[in-house]
Amino acid sequence: MPIATVNPASGETLQTYEAMGEEELERRLQLAEATFRTYRTTTYAERARLLNRAADLLDEDRADIGRVMTTEMGKPVQQARAEAAKCARAMRWYAEHAAELLADEEPAAADVKDSGAARVLVRYRPLGPVLAVMPWNFPLWQVVRFAAPALMAGNVGLLKHASNVPQTALYLEDLFHRAGFAEGCFQTLLVGSGAVDDILRDERVKAATLTGSEPAGRAVASTAGEMVKKTVLELGGSDPYVVMPSADVDRAAQIAVTARVQNNGQSCIAAKRFIVHTDVYDAFAARFVAGMAALKVGDPLQEETEVGPLASEQGRADLEELVDDARRSGADVLCGGERPDGPGWYYPPTVLAGVTREMRIHREEAFGPVATLYRAGDLDEAVLIANDSPFGLSSNVWTREDAEVDRFVRDLEAGGVFVNGMTASHPGFPFGGVKRSGYGRELSGHGIREFCNITTVWHGV
């Protein structure tokens, strides 16, 4: 895949880039290793000053970088600006909280005494250069939620971004440099996916984080395992959205539309499978389908657009295949389902009902504005359908019954359970999944400690 900006609203190639050669890549790896030796000794206060400055610059750049993201991958420009603002808030959150999250810990006094020590501390120390392999769908946020905690912990970052968002990738490197970080603290590597394996095998790279597809995660995890390097993986998702009879059905249907089509439906944590109790199924389905059909699809640079194009021609083709397979196997298309004429990689908001386990879309992630509706006879069946997926990223539950909430929290196989609301990420809460959605956690204290050397410091009497 070429490293290029291709406008998904028109299919026009706007700018292409040459991949870095071996000499430049070697220079950057050397720089990362050398910079880490010095940067790791800086104080939390100094790192926070730099990160806060980066947040200020990002706020100033919000409109411009928002247009760049929209042009590169097609998200509605209002959502792009909101993504930039969210990144700035996350930077400030880590700048404020990192010292506390990574403060030395003292084990229980009884355990210290039992060990024969005078004093024991647990200290969090940085690992070194961390490779981040990032996707195009949230081209700022996915990177910042790695970079902000990594930099505050004293690590340095190497970004291999998706090849269709090179301008955003280069902007991020420039942003951190303008903020005052040393050149080697955060570097963008303009290379193809084929270069990742060799970079990860390099002894100077100490760990890796990947957000992306399951095949990409398997490849990185395999190499990292062979090299005995720490990884955090956030992979695909096919999140359930369960609606029970006690729910506010109008509100649940309204939020369901946003939960499905955020970022043009190209989000791992978007709700994708809507599992509705039979008592409220018809009412929910009518409202949900009407809401999906009413969405304004169009030029993502227009302020009123709610759904833009898919990021790539292949992405649209993959989505069409899932819908066509379901239709051939007997699924009902309640709205959408047909590629529009004209330029760009658009696909309409689509709702499928009558989905069965034999259909590909039941087990594969639909990465675009396509929803599947399921009817559940009771809570047990709702849980069974929700867990009948290889993925386990997040989940959504709508009910006013405390006992039902307890049951869902206990039994849903997911890294998050959002009750009476849609899944969202916040720097203060851990984020990640189970099953084929990956392992490890980003954000919060859990995320900043993922790439730390958790060190026991034992003092004898």
Which two three-digit tokens encode residue 91?
């930077």
Spatial distance between the Cα atoms of 220 and 213, rounded to a whole number of angstroms = 11
Tokens of 241: 């959205």
The token duo for 49 is 């000053």
Q: Phi/psi class of residue 220: alpha, beta or left (left: φ > 0; alpha: ψ in -120 to 50)?
A: alpha
The active-site residue, picked from 72, 234, 306, 320, is: 234
- Catalytic residue among 268, 306, 364, 365, which? 268
Instruction: List the structure tokens of 394.
Output: 């997040």
Asked if 87 is an active-site residue, the reply is no
268 is a catalytic site residue = yes
Tokens 């100033």 belong to: 60
Active site residues: 234, 268
